[in-house]
Amino acid sequence: MPDTSNLNILPETGLRPVSRRGFLKSCAACAACAACGSAVPSAAAREAPAVPADKAKVRVVFTHPRADLEGWPYINYNYQPRKEQFLARLGKALPNTEFMPVTVMKADETRDLLANDSGIDGYVCLLMGIPSAGAARQLLTAGRPVVLVDDLYGGTGEFLGTYARARAEKLKVVGVSSTRFEDVVQAVRLYEVMRKLRVSTILDVCERTNRNEPKAIEEIFGTAVRTTGAEEINEAYQKADKAEAEKYAAAWVKNAKKVVEPSREEIGRSGLMYIAMRDMMAGRKAQAVDMDCLRLFYGKKLPAYPCLGFCQLNDDGLVGACEADLQSTITMLAMTYLAGRPGYISDPVIDTSKNQIIYAHCVAPTKVWGPKGQSNPYLIRDHSEDRKGAVVQSLMPIGEMTTTLKFHPVRKEVIIHQARTVANIDEDRACRTKLAAEVKDINKLLGEWNRFGWHRVTFYGDLREPLKELAAALKFRFVEEA
């Protein structure tokens, strides 16, 4: 590996930006291995928490007139091969979804379908010809989530009016009018994401009260939030397998570019904290854990920081989130399912002289493209604020597009900006990992930061379009802050 002693210059990683066209292939591969883990001991893989394996159930509604009627695409058109091709391509692209096809040519057929359907996560309605029986409109007005797909030159006349009207009425619709089939897959994948969220659990280690996020997260995403305190995490820490914890600690040291401040004993305590968190997650079948780490550690209620363990979880396709920030935690979980890669919570710093935002924190992943992606170099440092504990200073790839966002479940909004990474900053002040990125309008970003608090979550890749579709499916307002 090339020398990276100058932290402002990261060596060529071989990783390339992901365009919207390439997004589906990359996240499909990542989703398939989301629980695979990184190059660390796997002795307790059977015990580890796992990504939900539940399949989404999706009704595929083909709608068109009788073939012997004049209209689009043309009289006596053979619809069957087109349907078979559509189903085959969907099934191949989304093997974790169960597709249940039905053809609708009359209005009463849609009414019967709605009356008898149960346990359906959502609908894909392929408009294949006109005149039609208005199936799409009936599904939407019944409150069902619908991915509305125009089979171009077939159902276009109905699609244009139905989709625009549904958007204006704020119905649960995502529309696709494209000859690129990956755009259909991207939209339909949302059902897998939302299904996983509904059967997922967040382990929330926090002793603060009067927070309104847990209820909002459960109501909107369906994700269970299970709150506990320092007593339980300390009990799990005392019971943690010391031999297994040592294997993780040894692997972290071996794979690090350098251990700067922490002692070997401190890293060992981080290994025990990781095993404790992982065991608690497994006990609750949780896919994410957050912890009010600063308050609890400063209050002498924690024996070690969770930072190295959070890095391990994030690299393995799960979620470890700082400071019991539930908004960031649900953001990380949703985007892990959508994109198959970890998020990076930060306390950003703005440098207007360079048109840069610097994402700073003491927890960061080392596999920014997902569990099977290439690892980037890292150092093991102490925690910046109090010069204690052990954390990762991740030297993340530069020259890459990133998408930074946060879901606000109470306000039902998602805020987003994008930037291209330019440097890893070596500065002793503030949090250890400092990823600098350039944005187009730094002053707009600076002027609107108060709307969502200090934290944001950064993901590698251009994820704007799939995020926008997820926001539409959740009926969240999509806010672009820069």
Q: pLDDT (tens digit, 9 = 90+) per residue, 240-298? A: 999 999 999 999 999 999 999 999 999 999 999 999 999 999 999 999 999 999 999 99
Segment among 37-41, 93-97, 376-380, 423-427 with least mean pLDDT: 37-41
Q: What's the average model confidence in pLDDT over 314-329?
A: 96
- Averaged pLDDT of the chain: 89
Q: Which residues contact 158 (CB under 8 A, 6 or more apart)?
A: 127, 130, 132, 134, 136
**CB half-sphere exposure, 378, CA atoms < 13 A:** 31
State pLDDT tens for residues 209-243: 889 999 999 999 999 999 999 999 999 999 999 99
Question: Band of the pLDDT at 47, cuts 50, 70, 90?
Answer: low
What distance in Å separates the CA atoms of residue 130 and residue 66, rounded to the nearest whole number? Answer: 10
Q: What's the average model confidence in pLDDT over 30-38?
A: 41
- Give the gyration radius of the chain's Cα atoms: 24
For residue 51, what pLDDT is reported? 80
Would the pLDDT of 311 be above 50?
A: yes
State pLDDT tens for residues 163-214: 999 999 989 899 999 999 999 999 999 999 999 999 999 999 999 988 999 9
Report which residue type is found at 472.
A
State pLDDT tens for residues 143-159: 999 999 999 999 999 99
Domains of the chain in start order, with CATH, are 56-195 (3.40.50.2300), 200-480 (3.20.14)
Which pTM was predicted? 0.86
> Sheet containing 146-150: which strands, arranged edge to edge?
97-104, 56-63, 122-127, 146-150, 173-176
Tokens of 255: 């794979």
